[in-house]
Structure 1
Amino acid sequence: MTVEFRVLGPVQAWIGGRPVDLGHARQRCVLAVLLVEANQWLSADQLLDRAWGDRVPPGGRSTLYGYLSRLRRALRATERAAIVHRAGGYELVVDEEAVDVHRFRRLVARARAETDQARALELAEGAAGLWRGEALLGLDTPWITSVRHGLEQERFAADTDRLDLALRLGRHAALLPELTDRAAEHPLNEHVAAQLMLALFRAGRQADALDRYRRLRTRLADELGTEPGPGLRQLHHRILAADPDLASPAADRSPVVPRQLPAAPPAFTGRVPELAELDRALVAASGDQGTGTAAISAVGGVGGVGKTWLALAWAHRNLHRFPDGQLFVDLHGFSPTGEPTDPADALRGFLTALGATTDGAQADPGTLYRNLMAGRRALVLLDNAASADQVVPLLPGNPTCTVLVTSRTSLPSLIDRHGAHHLPLGVLTPAESRALLAARLGQNRTDAEPDAVDELVGLCGRHPLALAITARHAATRPRLPLAELAAELREAGLEMLDHDTDLTASLPAVLSWSLRHLTARQRMVFALLGIAPGPDIDLPAAASLTDLPPTEARKALRVLEDHSLLDRHPHGRYAMHDLVRAYATTADGHLPEPAREAALERVADFYLHTAHTADHLLNPYRPPIRLGPPAPGARPHPLPDRATALAWMDAHHPHLLAVHQDAVARRHHRVVWQIAWTLGTFHRLRGRIHDDLAVWQAATEAATHLPDPGTRILAHRLLGHAHAELERHERAIDHLHQALALARQHHDLAQQAHTHHALTWAWEQRGNDRKALDHARHALDLFRALGSPVWEATALNMVGWHAARLGEYEVAREHCQAALDLYRRHDDLDGEADTLDSFGWIEHHTGHHHRAVDHYRQALDLYHAVGNTAEAADTLDNLAHPHLALGDRAQARAAWREALDLYRQQGRDTDAERVRRRLADLEPASIRTGDAGNEGPAPS
């Protein structure tokens, strides 16, 4: 059954000659998007954005699915169109001849390619006849408005070509009404004016033609301050002289139309946002007719990321926009030859393609080029530029042309001086990466091993060239399971992405070409960044790593960023793609081992000393450890206050873990132990119990290689505390008893006090409050003897807490009040919050639920103030119980939901599961009450 769709006017559809009810405007918007993007996959989010813009209603996806369901039912009667759902998106599969906008574009393209002018005019008139008013009439979203504007431009360009053809075939008399109307609608368009002047002159109205020129010239001067262009001025002179060659259609003198674009990339996938961004840049530039310069877009990105493919794919999809030709040159800015193309050579190639030659009698090549490009609607694709110096001589210099540049550098002067639109190109999305492999290997093969495909995507870092090389390995070995290929890539890494003879098929070779334009210092910085610990780096850390002053380090980072070897992220972070980083570690003939070791020592000391300062600000009463001076060239970052310290630790926790792992690998035992110590307070505040266990397991082993017994005592104690946090009771007690024995052996009263404090918590976790209370009392006696008032307050709170758990509420109140007074006297907000939490528990269990809520709320405020999200989670868990006792189920539910979110963020699965069950019990059936208990003491 036949089907026909129209968007060049109101959106309409017919099946078997009968109109289809398309519903209200929003449903027509959805269909319009699918029609304009026929046979292209669109995600649900893209459909929502394009059909609703910023007015997506609540439940927008459900509404969208309802519209699509109705549209699918309407199309069910025909085999020529269907809405297909796949991979979280939709595609209108349709014969494009059935959609007027695509038929229009095909007819226009055929007309422009046709050598028989009469046949070309027939095709052009067929295209014009498809329009029935304003495109997408009555629909209004930002995307539709943009498409409508683009279609009007296409229509205008097609009509211009059609009228040129008709004039060449002598149909000037019949065209006069249409040309007069167009001149009124486009009063400053010189091509429109030239068509009308020529038609008037051929119709015997020379005076009217000259009057048209006079009026246009006056208007251009008044409104734009310019004169008519050389083409229109020449036509005026010929009309003034009554040129007989102009009086009747002459032999076709149409200019040469170059078609230099290489073939469109095969199996091109994804890049939908980037293609749309190039469309937007072209439309925006086309709307600004006063600049007098070409629309310029510069696509930047690291080697092999797909800049050329994107540029060619976009160019081939937009050929209808450039009927007057497409010029292309590879400028070899980054290539095996090592020598960038001289722009003068590229210019000579362009002139030859335009049908011109240069000799001494003619104007200089640049002027001749710009004259030949004047008035053309042409594309100039400048691929692989090394610098703006290569690009600028090749700019056409008029607003009817479009220039697309690809480069590994950001070409800043092209942006600054010529208004280029910069489009940074990153790696593919996971879905695009899987689609690329499927396109190369076949959907059946990738569907058969989805896990292996995901691993290949991950190992390639979603880098297009790496994926293409991997796909080639798989395609040339069709019997090889993809899982086996993934294992090979996992083991060989960058080596597998290399090629001995074909450098363009080697990722290391492609990346190496980016280093040719760097100085020796910049290459050194690049190589050092490859070994930097952590996922990224900021300026202070980079200055220590490279032993450069911050100003020089910043310059080097900026150059690497400009060369797409480094990505700048928010908050001053710089990151390398994993494969670029792997290449950096092998670049420049490897770093000499002494330089490598010195750099790693500097950056490790930068993180260690800064973290040590942060830990003191976060927990000023914690017994400190002493560090040696930082390595020469290491510049620890100053941290003025607690808030800055906590923010720094939040940002740099991954780097500290990476430094720790590197120190373990290189057997730098003191660094292993010291990094673990500096992370202690932060891990407690943020509930990072698994990370805490990991660093102290390594630190305890490292401490056996260190001469100071205090390090072994502390390591066993904090490892025991970490085990207790994870309810590994036997291991916790064992390590804590080892710490206590060592402390007694070396007569270290402070370590004994802190170990008793840790044993208090460990026995509580094990469910033995009596033993916990005994250790708390031992700790209290020792801290009093040591004259440590804040730690005395901590022990007082623990005595009070365990007395309360044993039902000794008056003893509990007495000790907790003494603790609260000491904490407040010494301005320890964290300890004050701990004690208020204990009071909340006491008041709840003695039936004073309003007081309990008040104490818990005060504790929460203080925990939030000091950034202690771990204890905040437990207090929220506790807070729900008095709310329940007061009959306030909504408040209880809110507290437990917030606690659940925090537990999940902190990886505290047991706590999360307990709270999840309590939330489930809140549902109508029954309510179980209980308590979470106190999270326990802060490790010292």
Structure 2
Amino acid sequence: MWIGLLGGVRATTGDGEPVDIGSPRSQTVLAALALSAGVPLPVSRLIDLVWGDSPPASASKALQWHVAQLRKSLGASVITRVGAAYRLDAATDVSRFRSCLRAGDVAGALTEWGGVPLAGLEAPGLAAAVAGLVEEWLSAVEMDFSRRVAADPRAVVGELSSFVADYPTRERLAALLMTALYRTGRQADALAVYQRVRQHLVDELGVEPGAELRAVEQQVLAHAPVPAPVLIGRSGDLAAVAEALQRSPVVTLVGPGGIGKTRLASVLGGAFVSLAEITSSADVPWAVADALGIVERPGLTVAQAVVAARPSLLVLDNCEHVLDGAAAFAAAVCSSVQVLATSRERLAVADEQVVVVEPLDLAASVELFHVRARAADPTYVRDAFVSELCARLDGIPLAIELAAARVRSHRPAELLTRLDIGVRRTGVARHRTLRSAIQWSYGLLSTAERSLFCRLSVFAAPFDLSAVAEDHVLADLVERSMVAVHAGPFGRRFRLLEPLRQFASAELGDRSEAVAAHASWCLRQVAAVGELLTGPREAEGVGRLAELWPNLRVAVARAFERADLGLAAALIRPVVTELPLRGRREIGDWAERLLSGGDRASRLLPPMAAHHTHDVGRVPPKSTIAGGSDSPGGVEASLRAFWLVWVAERNTQGSRPAELPDVPDHPLGRYARAYSSGDGHELARCLPEALDSVDSPDLRAFLELMPAGTLIGVGQFEHVDGKVAELAVRYRAQGPPTLLHWSLQTLGYSAMFQGRDPEPFFDEAADVELPAGTLSATRTTRARAAFRRGDERRAFELLAEHIDELLETGNVVAASVVAVEFIAITKVRLRGEAAVMLGYLKHANDFGALAAERLVSGITTTAPGMSDREALHHMRQVLNAARARSGSRTPPAGQA
């Protein structure tokens, strides 16, 4: 039996014969089951889906009747009763559509799409599911158009125009139409599209266009060079890759540098990860985590997190220099996630399918040259020498584009005369061909251009204009296609394509000056980010740090390699609070390396400005880091104690049992050990002296707030209420939003423990807009609010979502806070489970013990031996089971 939902609800036998599925109500029942084929749907959930908000009193009996009629038509085995639920066991077009998407087969998914889901059927209860399917389809449409615009923009203008008219708020479609028009020379039409879409967004929704659409408009207005249709001559390669992706979980595009592997992979959609920015196989997971926005989780690898996220396609680009790491990562995820890799050699993993990317044929090579030449010089005209020139360049796209970029100063005949290559067309020869082409382009640069080009090779990721003093020289390199430029979220960003970066690196020679300049730029960038993170523009700081992180990681690694611990400390110091605020545990690892890297105080101090060439910017004096030379134990003790705080935070956040490193006695060191052990009484004793040893007001305030929960657990209410209330006033006026949110949450729990109304604090905290990735307990407070208004199902959902978030980020230290809400919400219906978690809470920490004493009554305690992580898992299992029994719905994406 086969069930169709796309284009209307229908059923056919294995022989293709249509089956009568009854009345519209019976069709709605079938559609609800088919949308979750293979999964039991509780009767209460089915009633919600079929009748929406107005089910009749006899809904259960009516549902039973409709199911019986469907079983007569479809066969008794197609719909199975599973306890208080029904399950459909049949193939559906929706399942095939989604299967293609998961496999990265966009073309196959679009072929499966038969039209509007449930067309002609009035089913308000299924509206959200229909909207979700349409969203998936439109995302696939956009990926397909992205590929087609790159390959042949002129051919898609008409079809794209129709889609933009039908979906005027889909900015991605509008951006693609503008790009297609622009690439075909229709600048005015591209700008007209922007104006129409912008007017619609403003009039109908009251919002301005997003960053992507604005970036395309700026490109058109600036008469930026028209990007080449990068897939000229690649339709056969696209078909080969699509076919390989259907046959194998791992597909590797193999070919020499500059052949176009990255461009080919980039138009296929999916989650794109560039490995060009890393130098070690061990860093592959870090690169994936950065690209996909995955936070490190104790007990869960990045590969497992990727599997859980299930991207439709994972692209690992530039694998050849970290082949072992890329292969291991691909092998770890490919059972659940489709992997597309690009490399100069195969990964050699099981079931790998290799697609060799060949040079362009002569006709495509000539066409690519013409397109790039016209972009560089509008007066360019075709001539007969181009064919021979492209033949001499072996059809390598990057070599052809480098040559075409020179047509303003050299006509094709002159290029041919100067380009003395003449090599055989073999794989090794093509490497020489590309190097010769790059060498030739490099030879035409001025001395200043060569110098800057080589120095830029030390940048591991895109950089902004402030990284380069000679901006006019950089502009010349961009014009000559030696440096690529693109619009980032915070302005233009520049980078060297990997073959060019490798060539430049080999030509650089003594790297010390360029590496020092890179470190100086990173110091300036991270200092600016640190300023943003402590004020009202915190969200911008979080975004800029994410963009900077690959370069920052490389700068820190180089500092450690040279044993320049002062530089490493100066690079890390401005963003240390991102460890507790956003879960960047790599900061804790760096802090531990600083502690283990040397015993001399001078090696931990920031380096003198003269240590680096160029202006390194002003490094914070040692007194603003932690204590001065007069503090107990001297400078060495204060600095080592400072870094111990962040090692303690990493360990505490992940509930790691590891012992803290030894450091000389210092108030901050005592603070770190008390915080790590959860000893609230010791924290209360050492906190004043620890804060006195810190001269930075921002850091002192942060260290005051961090242990507030532990202090609540030992009854330090007066201290917490006074100090944290002062901090809340400060953060309302000055930011950052996250610390205002944390302060309000803390005051709410303090009020709750003292028998006062906490809701004003929690409600205000929930209204604070937080940067992406921030660790917060907002869902627990919203769960409590849902429970108060009688929406038990929503309370279960929110609490389960928060537990999932904690397990995802590894922030298990918040388990005791969740347990408080869990007990409050479940103690009536799930008294036994509430008793189990009360037993956990009493032994978890001082906060949990006080909560068990003051907030819970009338429950006999069960005393389980649970870790924080085990407690979270147990609560999640209980909540999921309760949600299933109550027919709980899944909230829409983004609903907190």
TM-score category (smaller protein): 0.3 to 0.5
Structure of higher CA gyration radius: 1
Q: TM-score, normalised by structure 2?
A: 0.42
Q: TM-score, normalised by structure 1?
A: 0.40
Larger RCO: Structure 1 or Structure 2 (Cα < 8 Å, ≥ 6 residues apart)? 2
